[in-house]
Amino acid sequence: MRPSRATGPDARPADARLLVTAFGRFDGGPNCSETLLERLSFEAGELKSLWGGPVRFALLPVVSETAEQELRSALDVARPTHVLLTGQAAGRMHVSFERVARNHRHLAVPDEGGFAGALGPVREGGPAERVATWPDLDGLAAALSADGVAARVSEDAGAHLCNQTLYLALEAAEAASPRFVTTFLHLPLLPEQVAANVPAAARHENCFALPLDQMTRAVKRILIHTRRSLPTGLSLS
């Protein structure tokens, strides 16, 4: 059974601290998640007001061998209760909430460190799967779609850095005190990426594009929906 909400000791909703991450340059061009993160950082005051608590941002390099260290550094600074990971998914026609992270790495496209191919498990001896803990992913997807941004819940985060980072974040959440909840939001390419026909777009015929304003609206809707759904006490550990 897949949990929709973590359980345990309560914390006040005002204690909710959000970390939003994105990835840097990848696959021969800019990363749409980095562009989104820049916009969100520019509108940080509005996001903090919508969220009702601190909001921090972290840009992660697309390098498999340093992913754990980079993520850990971001978590140590933010000490979040909620972690929204974001990344690029060329060819997708929706924003996608990832429900499952799998314990494998197979980089069909080289990362920015030059690593490619089968790299083994994310965590030697770790569970085959970890399940996202951010509450009400199905409700979030429905809320975004109703707001004009096509969204769905995905059961396959791939085998690249996006899957790896979600797996590592879920692992870190189990050891954190207090624990935090997390999911990964996959984003289609931006129109300018498709127009430039960078490698990520060139590999997908009639590649779908999502404007930055819609990506930004999606994140704001996620914050609003999640805050409204929080109980009087935040169940995190």
Q: Which residues are catalytic?
A: 98, 162, 186
Q: How far is CA 124 from CA 27, 75, 104, in A?
A: 27, 22, 9
Contacts of 33 (CB under 8 A, 6+ apart): 22, 23, 86, 87, 88, 187
Report the C-alpha gap between 164 and 168 in whole angstroms.
Answer: 6
3-state secondary structure of 217: helix
